[in-house]
Structure 1
Protein backbone atom coordinates (compact mmCIF):
# COMPACT_ATOMS: atom_id res chain seq x y z
CA UNK A 1 0.00 0.00 0.00
CA UNK A 2 1.35 3.42 -0.98
CA UNK A 3 0.51 6.89 0.24
CA UNK A 4 0.57 9.84 -2.14
CA UNK A 5 0.61 13.34 -0.69
CA UNK A 6 -0.83 15.96 -3.02
CA UNK A 7 -0.67 19.70 -2.46
CA UNK A 8 -2.64 22.15 -4.61
CA UNK A 9 -2.10 25.89 -4.46
CA UNK A 10 -3.99 27.27 -7.44
CA UNK A 11 -6.54 29.95 -6.54
CA UNK A 12 -8.80 28.47 -9.22
CA UNK A 13 -10.69 25.21 -9.25
CA UNK A 14 -12.64 25.42 -12.51
CA UNK A 15 -10.21 25.70 -15.39
CA UNK A 16 -7.05 25.26 -13.34
CA UNK A 17 -4.37 23.68 -15.53
CA UNK A 18 -2.10 22.74 -12.63
CA UNK A 19 -4.97 20.88 -10.98
CA UNK A 20 -5.97 19.16 -14.22
CA UNK A 21 -2.45 17.91 -14.99
CA UNK A 22 -2.01 16.82 -11.38
CA UNK A 23 -5.31 14.93 -11.68
CA UNK A 24 -3.89 13.02 -14.65
CA UNK A 25 -0.68 12.29 -12.75
CA UNK A 26 -2.55 11.15 -9.65
CA UNK A 27 -4.91 8.93 -11.64
CA UNK A 28 -2.00 7.33 -13.45
CA UNK A 29 -0.20 6.51 -10.20
CA UNK A 30 -3.32 5.08 -8.60
CA UNK A 31 -4.20 3.05 -11.68
CA UNK A 32 -0.69 1.61 -12.02
CA UNK A 33 -0.41 0.58 -8.38
CA UNK A 34 -1.45 -3.02 -7.79
CA UNK A 35 -2.13 -2.50 -4.09
CA UNK A 36 -4.42 0.07 -2.52
CA UNK A 37 -3.20 3.63 -2.79
CA UNK A 38 -4.14 6.34 -0.33
CA UNK A 39 -4.10 9.94 -1.56
CA UNK A 40 -3.76 12.57 1.15
CA UNK A 41 -4.71 16.02 -0.13
CA UNK A 42 -4.02 19.50 1.15
CA UNK A 43 -5.38 22.47 -0.78
CA UNK A 44 -3.72 25.70 0.32
CA UNK A 45 -5.24 27.54 -2.62
CA UNK A 46 -8.80 27.04 -1.41
CA UNK A 47 -7.91 26.64 2.30
CA UNK A 48 -4.86 28.81 2.96
CA UNK A 49 -2.79 28.58 6.09
CA UNK A 50 -3.09 31.54 8.43
CA UNK A 51 -0.73 34.36 7.43
CA UNK A 52 0.98 34.41 10.82
CA UNK A 53 1.44 30.66 11.33
CA UNK A 54 4.93 30.53 9.84
CA UNK A 55 6.35 33.47 11.80
CA UNK A 56 4.79 32.27 15.04
CA UNK A 57 6.12 28.74 14.54
CA UNK A 58 9.57 29.96 13.52
CA UNK A 59 9.99 32.22 16.55
CA UNK A 60 8.66 29.49 18.83
CA UNK A 61 11.71 27.46 17.84
CA UNK A 62 13.82 29.83 19.91
CA UNK A 63 11.66 29.46 23.02
CA UNK A 64 11.77 26.58 25.49
CA UNK A 65 8.67 24.39 25.13
CA UNK A 66 7.49 25.14 28.65
CA UNK A 67 7.70 28.88 27.99
CA UNK A 68 5.77 28.98 24.72
CA UNK A 69 2.55 30.92 24.42
CA UNK A 70 -0.68 29.23 23.40
CA UNK A 71 -0.31 30.74 19.94
CA UNK A 72 3.22 29.38 19.61
CA UNK A 73 2.13 25.91 20.73
CA UNK A 74 -0.69 25.96 18.18
CA UNK A 75 1.60 27.13 15.37
CA UNK A 76 4.17 24.43 16.13
CA UNK A 77 1.36 21.88 16.04
CA UNK A 78 0.36 23.07 12.57
CA UNK A 79 3.98 22.83 11.39
CA UNK A 80 4.23 19.31 12.80
CA UNK A 81 1.00 18.30 11.06
CA UNK A 82 2.30 19.54 7.70
CA UNK A 83 5.61 17.79 8.24
CA UNK A 84 3.88 14.56 9.26
CA UNK A 85 2.03 14.51 5.92
CA UNK A 86 5.30 14.61 4.02
CA UNK A 87 7.01 12.06 6.26
CA UNK A 88 4.14 9.60 5.85
CA UNK A 89 4.04 9.91 2.05
CA UNK A 90 5.71 7.51 -0.33
CA UNK A 91 5.46 10.03 -3.18
CA UNK A 92 4.71 13.74 -3.26
CA UNK A 93 2.85 15.86 -5.83
CA UNK A 94 2.90 19.66 -5.64
CA UNK A 95 0.69 21.49 -8.15
CA UNK A 96 1.02 25.23 -8.47
CA UNK A 97 0.92 28.21 -10.82
CA UNK A 98 3.18 31.15 -11.59
CA UNK A 99 1.61 34.26 -10.05
CA UNK A 100 2.94 37.71 -10.93
CA UNK A 101 6.19 36.05 -11.99
CA UNK A 102 6.71 34.41 -8.60
CA UNK A 103 5.66 31.73 -6.16
CA UNK A 104 2.09 31.48 -4.91
CA UNK A 105 1.94 33.13 -1.49
CA UNK A 106 -0.07 30.17 -0.20
CA UNK A 107 2.59 27.70 -1.33
CA UNK A 108 5.37 29.88 0.09
CA UNK A 109 3.63 30.01 3.47
CA UNK A 110 3.29 26.21 3.42
CA UNK A 111 7.00 25.77 2.59
CA UNK A 112 8.12 28.23 5.26
CA UNK A 113 5.90 26.60 7.87
CA UNK A 114 7.17 23.11 7.02
CA UNK A 115 10.76 24.34 7.31
CA UNK A 116 9.97 25.66 10.80
CA UNK A 117 9.56 22.02 11.87
CA UNK A 118 13.00 20.71 12.95
CA UNK A 119 12.67 17.68 10.66
CA UNK A 120 12.72 19.94 7.59
CA UNK A 121 15.28 22.53 8.56
CA UNK A 122 18.14 23.02 6.07
CA UNK A 123 20.66 20.22 6.47
CA UNK A 124 18.13 17.55 7.42
CA UNK A 125 17.42 14.52 5.23
CA UNK A 126 13.96 13.52 6.43
CA UNK A 127 12.50 12.90 2.96
CA UNK A 128 15.72 12.56 0.99
CA UNK A 129 15.29 10.42 -2.12
CA UNK A 130 11.51 10.27 -2.08
CA UNK A 131 9.93 10.56 -5.53
CA UNK A 132 8.20 13.89 -6.02
CA UNK A 133 6.60 15.92 -8.78
CA UNK A 134 6.30 19.64 -9.29
CA UNK A 135 3.38 20.39 -11.62
CA UNK A 136 3.57 24.04 -12.60
CA UNK A 137 1.42 26.12 -14.96
CA UNK A 138 2.43 29.45 -16.45
CA UNK A 139 0.00 31.73 -18.22
CA UNK A 140 2.52 33.09 -20.70
CA UNK A 141 5.72 31.95 -22.37
CA UNK A 142 9.02 32.17 -20.48
CA UNK A 143 11.27 29.91 -22.55
CA UNK A 144 14.66 30.92 -23.91
CA UNK A 145 14.31 33.52 -26.62
CA UNK A 146 10.87 34.76 -25.55
CA UNK A 147 10.31 38.38 -24.47
CA UNK A 148 9.87 37.24 -20.88
CA UNK A 149 12.78 34.87 -20.65
CA UNK A 150 14.06 35.04 -17.07
CA UNK A 151 10.82 36.41 -15.65
CA UNK A 152 9.83 33.10 -14.03
CA UNK A 153 11.06 33.52 -10.47
CA UNK A 154 9.16 30.53 -9.10
CA UNK A 155 10.42 27.35 -10.75
CA UNK A 156 14.09 27.72 -9.85
CA UNK A 157 13.21 28.56 -6.25
CA UNK A 158 10.90 25.56 -5.93
CA UNK A 159 13.57 23.29 -7.40
CA UNK A 160 16.05 24.65 -4.86
CA UNK A 161 13.73 23.85 -1.94
CA UNK A 162 12.49 20.46 -3.09
CA UNK A 163 15.73 19.14 -4.60
CA UNK A 164 18.55 20.85 -2.73
CA UNK A 165 17.06 21.58 0.69
CA UNK A 166 14.76 18.57 1.11
CA UNK A 167 16.61 16.20 -1.21
CA UNK A 168 13.55 14.94 -3.06
CA UNK A 169 13.90 12.95 -6.27
CA UNK A 170 12.05 15.60 -8.26
CA UNK A 171 10.45 15.56 -11.70
CA UNK A 172 9.00 18.79 -13.08
CA UNK A 173 5.98 18.88 -15.41
CA UNK A 174 5.65 22.34 -16.93
CA UNK A 175 2.80 23.82 -18.98
CA UNK A 176 3.02 27.27 -20.54
CA UNK A 177 0.65 29.60 -22.43
CA UNK A 178 -2.27 28.53 -20.24
CA UNK A 179 -3.95 31.94 -20.65
CA UNK A 180 -3.96 31.80 -24.45
CA UNK A 181 -7.55 30.56 -24.64
CA UNK A 182 -8.90 33.55 -22.71
CA UNK A 183 -6.50 36.29 -23.83
CA UNK A 184 -7.27 37.88 -27.22
CA UNK A 185 -3.69 39.10 -27.62
CA UNK A 186 -2.51 35.47 -27.41
CA UNK A 187 -4.94 34.10 -30.01
CA UNK A 188 -2.17 33.13 -32.43
CA UNK A 189 -0.60 30.98 -29.71
CA UNK A 190 -3.68 28.87 -28.99
CA UNK A 191 -2.69 25.90 -31.14
CA UNK A 192 0.73 25.83 -29.50
CA UNK A 193 -0.90 26.12 -26.07
CA UNK A 194 -3.19 23.17 -26.78
CA UNK A 195 -0.22 21.14 -27.97
CA UNK A 196 1.74 21.96 -24.82
CA UNK A 197 -1.20 21.04 -22.61
CA UNK A 198 -1.66 17.70 -24.37
CA UNK A 199 2.04 16.98 -23.99
CA UNK A 200 1.90 17.80 -20.27
CA UNK A 201 -0.96 15.37 -19.73
CA UNK A 202 0.96 12.67 -21.62
CA UNK A 203 4.09 13.33 -19.52
CA UNK A 204 1.91 13.11 -16.40
CA UNK A 205 0.49 9.76 -17.51
CA UNK A 206 3.93 8.37 -18.30
CA UNK A 207 5.45 9.74 -15.09
CA UNK A 208 2.64 8.30 -13.01
CA UNK A 209 3.25 4.85 -14.40
CA UNK A 210 7.03 5.09 -13.99
CA UNK A 211 6.95 6.27 -10.38
CA UNK A 212 5.17 3.10 -9.36
CA UNK A 213 8.34 1.20 -10.29
CA UNK A 214 10.26 3.35 -7.78
CA UNK A 215 7.63 2.71 -5.13
CA UNK A 216 7.71 -1.03 -5.69
CA UNK A 217 11.51 -1.20 -5.65
CA UNK A 218 11.54 0.73 -2.36
CA UNK A 219 8.94 -1.55 -0.76
Structure 2
Protein backbone atom coordinates (compact mmCIF):
# COMPACT_ATOMS: atom_id res chain seq x y z
CA UNK A 1 0.00 0.00 0.00
CA UNK A 2 1.15 3.59 -0.59
CA UNK A 3 3.43 5.36 1.86
CA UNK A 4 3.11 9.05 2.74
CA UNK A 5 6.08 10.88 4.26
CA UNK A 6 4.60 13.69 6.39
CA UNK A 7 6.85 16.43 7.76
CA UNK A 8 5.75 19.28 10.05
CA UNK A 9 8.06 22.12 10.99
CA UNK A 10 6.02 24.81 12.77
CA UNK A 11 7.35 25.65 16.23
CA UNK A 12 3.73 25.86 17.39
CA UNK A 13 1.38 22.94 17.78
CA UNK A 14 -1.78 24.73 18.93
CA UNK A 15 -2.87 27.38 16.47
CA UNK A 16 -0.50 26.41 13.68
CA UNK A 17 -2.24 26.85 10.35
CA UNK A 18 0.39 24.87 8.43
CA UNK A 19 -0.09 21.91 10.78
CA UNK A 20 -3.87 22.27 10.63
CA UNK A 21 -4.08 22.27 6.83
CA UNK A 22 -1.47 19.51 6.51
CA UNK A 23 -3.56 17.44 8.94
CA UNK A 24 -6.59 17.91 6.68
CA UNK A 25 -4.57 16.63 3.72
CA UNK A 26 -3.28 13.67 5.72
CA UNK A 27 -6.76 12.77 7.01
CA UNK A 28 -8.14 12.65 3.47
CA UNK A 29 -5.12 10.66 2.29
CA UNK A 30 -5.62 8.11 5.08
CA UNK A 31 -9.31 7.79 4.26
CA UNK A 32 -8.37 6.98 0.68
CA UNK A 33 -5.61 4.56 1.82
CA UNK A 34 -6.79 3.06 5.15
CA UNK A 35 -4.18 0.29 4.88
CA UNK A 36 -1.38 2.62 3.83
CA UNK A 37 1.62 3.80 5.83
CA UNK A 38 2.38 7.28 7.12
CA UNK A 39 5.93 8.07 8.20
CA UNK A 40 5.73 11.19 10.35
CA UNK A 41 8.49 13.59 11.39
CA UNK A 42 7.74 16.54 13.66
CA UNK A 43 10.85 18.67 13.25
CA UNK A 44 9.87 20.95 16.12
CA UNK A 45 9.24 18.21 18.66
CA UNK A 46 12.15 16.07 17.46
CA UNK A 47 14.59 18.38 15.65
CA UNK A 48 17.35 17.03 13.46
CA UNK A 49 20.94 18.15 13.95
CA UNK A 50 22.37 20.61 11.50
CA UNK A 51 24.72 19.20 8.89
CA UNK A 52 28.23 18.75 10.30
CA UNK A 53 31.68 18.12 8.86
CA UNK A 54 31.39 14.51 10.05
CA UNK A 55 28.18 14.05 8.08
CA UNK A 56 29.70 15.54 4.94
CA UNK A 57 33.07 13.77 5.05
CA UNK A 58 31.50 10.37 5.84
CA UNK A 59 30.34 10.17 2.23
CA UNK A 60 33.95 10.22 1.02
CA UNK A 61 35.43 7.77 3.52
CA UNK A 62 35.04 3.97 3.39
CA UNK A 63 32.53 2.78 6.00
CA UNK A 64 35.20 0.67 7.68
CA UNK A 65 37.25 3.82 8.32
CA UNK A 66 34.43 5.94 9.75
CA UNK A 67 34.97 7.55 13.12
CA UNK A 68 32.16 7.01 15.64
CA UNK A 69 30.93 10.53 14.85
CA UNK A 70 30.97 9.89 11.11
CA UNK A 71 29.20 6.57 11.59
CA UNK A 72 26.36 8.16 13.56
CA UNK A 73 26.01 11.09 11.18
CA UNK A 74 26.04 8.81 8.14
CA UNK A 75 23.42 6.50 9.67
CA UNK A 76 21.05 9.42 10.19
CA UNK A 77 21.40 10.57 6.58
CA UNK A 78 20.83 7.00 5.39
CA UNK A 79 17.61 6.81 7.40
CA UNK A 80 16.30 10.11 6.05
CA UNK A 81 17.23 9.25 2.47
CA UNK A 82 15.47 5.89 2.74
CA UNK A 83 12.33 7.54 4.12
CA UNK A 84 12.24 9.83 1.10
CA UNK A 85 13.05 7.10 -1.41
CA UNK A 86 10.40 4.74 -0.05
CA UNK A 87 7.64 7.37 -0.01
CA UNK A 88 5.01 7.36 -2.73
CA UNK A 89 4.12 10.95 -1.82
CA UNK A 90 5.47 13.63 0.52
CA UNK A 91 3.56 16.19 2.59
CA UNK A 92 5.42 19.15 4.11
CA UNK A 93 3.84 21.66 6.49
CA UNK A 94 5.82 24.82 7.05
CA UNK A 95 5.23 28.38 8.22
CA UNK A 96 7.16 31.37 6.94
CA UNK A 97 9.62 32.66 9.54
CA UNK A 98 11.45 35.89 8.76
CA UNK A 99 10.56 35.62 5.06
CA UNK A 100 11.78 32.01 4.68
CA UNK A 101 11.44 28.48 6.07
CA UNK A 102 12.20 27.41 9.67
CA UNK A 103 15.78 26.29 10.31
CA UNK A 104 14.41 22.90 11.38
CA UNK A 105 13.14 22.27 7.85
CA UNK A 106 16.39 23.55 6.35
CA UNK A 107 18.23 21.04 8.55
CA UNK A 108 16.10 18.20 7.13
CA UNK A 109 16.83 19.36 3.59
CA UNK A 110 20.56 19.60 4.22
CA UNK A 111 20.59 16.12 5.73
CA UNK A 112 18.43 14.43 3.10
CA UNK A 113 20.11 15.94 0.03
CA UNK A 114 23.00 13.58 -0.68
CA UNK A 115 24.73 14.39 -3.96
CA UNK A 116 25.12 11.27 -6.05
CA UNK A 117 22.09 9.69 -4.42
CA UNK A 118 19.01 11.76 -3.56
CA UNK A 119 20.52 14.87 -5.16
CA UNK A 120 22.46 15.53 -8.33
CA UNK A 121 21.92 14.51 -11.94
CA UNK A 122 19.84 11.38 -11.23
CA UNK A 123 18.00 11.88 -7.90
CA UNK A 124 16.84 8.57 -6.42
CA UNK A 125 13.37 9.91 -5.52
CA UNK A 126 12.89 11.86 -8.77
CA UNK A 127 9.26 12.34 -9.76
CA UNK A 128 7.83 11.74 -6.29
CA UNK A 129 4.94 14.18 -5.74
CA UNK A 130 5.30 16.53 -2.78
CA UNK A 131 2.55 18.78 -1.46
CA UNK A 132 3.79 21.77 0.53
CA UNK A 133 1.50 23.66 2.89
CA UNK A 134 3.25 26.96 3.51
CA UNK A 135 1.40 29.36 5.81
CA UNK A 136 2.20 33.07 5.84
CA UNK A 137 1.31 35.69 8.43
CA UNK A 138 0.77 38.36 5.79
CA UNK A 139 0.29 38.32 2.04
CA UNK A 140 3.19 37.90 -0.37
CA UNK A 141 1.08 37.20 -3.44
CA UNK A 142 1.87 38.65 -6.85
CA UNK A 143 1.18 42.36 -6.89
CA UNK A 144 1.36 42.86 -3.12
CA UNK A 145 3.90 45.26 -1.58
CA UNK A 146 5.88 42.37 -0.08
CA UNK A 147 5.89 40.07 -3.08
CA UNK A 148 9.69 40.34 -3.37
CA UNK A 149 10.15 39.28 0.28
CA UNK A 150 8.80 35.76 -0.33
CA UNK A 151 11.65 33.27 0.16
CA UNK A 152 9.70 30.29 1.50
CA UNK A 153 7.77 28.78 -1.40
CA UNK A 154 10.25 30.25 -3.90
CA UNK A 155 13.15 28.53 -2.15
CA UNK A 156 11.30 25.26 -1.61
CA UNK A 157 10.22 25.07 -5.24
CA UNK A 158 13.83 25.46 -6.37
CA UNK A 159 15.43 23.06 -3.90
CA UNK A 160 12.77 20.34 -4.03
CA UNK A 161 12.67 20.28 -7.82
CA UNK A 162 16.20 21.38 -8.67
CA UNK A 163 18.07 19.30 -6.08
CA UNK A 164 15.77 16.36 -5.29
CA UNK A 165 13.88 16.15 -8.57
CA UNK A 166 10.51 16.05 -6.84
CA UNK A 167 7.22 17.21 -8.35
CA UNK A 168 6.00 20.08 -6.18
CA UNK A 169 2.53 21.48 -5.53
CA UNK A 170 1.70 24.25 -3.05
CA UNK A 171 -1.19 25.12 -0.75
CA UNK A 172 -0.74 28.65 0.62
CA UNK A 173 -2.96 29.96 3.44
CA UNK A 174 -2.17 33.65 3.95
CA UNK A 175 -2.84 36.43 6.48
CA UNK A 176 -2.65 33.95 9.37
CA UNK A 177 -1.74 36.74 11.83
CA UNK A 178 -4.88 38.74 11.15
CA UNK A 179 -6.64 37.47 14.29
CA UNK A 180 -3.69 38.22 16.60
CA UNK A 181 -2.31 41.44 15.14
CA UNK A 182 -4.65 44.41 15.76
CA UNK A 183 -3.14 46.25 12.80
CA UNK A 184 -4.50 43.49 10.54
CA UNK A 185 -8.02 43.44 12.00
CA UNK A 186 -9.63 44.61 8.76
CA UNK A 187 -8.11 41.60 6.96
CA UNK A 188 -9.74 38.94 9.14
CA UNK A 189 -12.43 38.06 6.61
CA UNK A 190 -9.80 37.60 3.92
CA UNK A 191 -7.72 35.52 6.32
CA UNK A 192 -10.68 33.27 7.10
CA UNK A 193 -11.40 32.86 3.40
CA UNK A 194 -7.79 31.98 2.65
CA UNK A 195 -7.74 29.42 5.46
CA UNK A 196 -11.01 27.83 4.33
CA UNK A 197 -9.78 27.70 0.76
CA UNK A 198 -6.56 26.01 1.90
CA UNK A 199 -8.53 23.27 3.66
CA UNK A 200 -10.65 22.76 0.55
CA UNK A 201 -7.52 22.52 -1.59
CA UNK A 202 -5.98 20.06 0.86
CA UNK A 203 -8.96 17.71 0.57
CA UNK A 204 -9.14 18.00 -3.21
CA UNK A 205 -5.41 17.58 -3.78
CA UNK A 206 -5.20 14.62 -1.40
CA UNK A 207 -8.01 12.86 -3.26
CA UNK A 208 -6.43 13.43 -6.65
CA UNK A 209 -2.99 12.37 -5.47
CA UNK A 210 -4.34 9.29 -3.70
CA UNK A 211 -5.97 8.10 -6.90
CA UNK A 212 -2.85 8.86 -8.93
CA UNK A 213 -0.53 6.98 -6.56
CA UNK A 214 -2.88 3.99 -6.42
CA UNK A 215 -3.09 3.77 -10.22
Q: Distance in 2 between matches of 1:176 and 1:151?
A: 14
Which aligned runs of 4 or more in structure 1 are off by greater than 4 angstroms? none
Q: Between 108-117 and 19-28, report the one with greater CA deviation.
A: 108-117
Q: Alignment partner of 2:179: what SS?
A: helix
SS of equivalent to 1:182: coil
Match of 2:49 in 1: 50
- Whether 1:88 and 2:86 are equivalent positions in the alignment is yes
Equivalent position to 1:109, from 94, 107, 114: 107
Q: 1:175 — aligned with what?
A: 173
Shift of the 176–55 alpha-carbon distance from structure 1 to 2, 3 Å rule, reads farther
Deviation at 1:88, TM superposition (A): 1.3
Paired residue for 2:117? 119
Gaps of 5+ in 1: none
* Cα distance between partner residues in 2 of 1:55 and 1:111: 16
SS of residue paired to 1:180 = coil
TM-score normalised by structure 1 residue count: 0.93
Runs of at least 5 residues in structure 2 that lack an aligned partner in the other structure:
none
Deviations along 1:86-109, whole A, 9 cap, x unmatched?
111111101111110112101111
Contact 2:113-2:163 at 8 Å conserved across structures: no
Match runs of 1:181-200 below 5 Å: 181-200=179-198
**CA offset at residue 117 of structure 1?**
6.6
TM-aligned CA deviation for residue 66 of structure 1:
2.7
Contact in 1 for aligned 2:21/2:133 (Cα 8 Å):
yes
Partners of 1:64 and 1:4 lie apart in 2 by 32
Single out whichever of 39-48 and 164-173 deviates more from structure 2.
Answer: 164-173
Q: Deviations over 1:145-185 (max 9, x none)?
A: 22211101121111112122222222111111111110001
Aligned: 1:22 with 2:30: no
More displaced, 60-69 or 84-93?
60-69
Give the TM-score normalised by the residue count of structure 2.
0.95
Corresponding residue of 2:36: 37
> Which residue of structure 1 lines up, in the alignment, with residue 154 of structure 2?
156
* 1:65 positional shift: 2.5
CA contact (8 A) 2:119 2:165 kept: no
Q: In 1, Cα distance between the equivalents of 2:52 and 2:121? A: 19
| Counterpart contact for 1:54–1:113, Cα < 8 Å | no
Distance in 2, matches of 1:185 and 1:56, equals 47
- Cα displacement string for residues 174-202 of structure 1 (whole angstroms, at most 9, x for unaligned residues): 11111111000100110000000000000
Q: How many residues align?
A: 215
1:31, CA displacement in angstroms?
Answer: 1.1
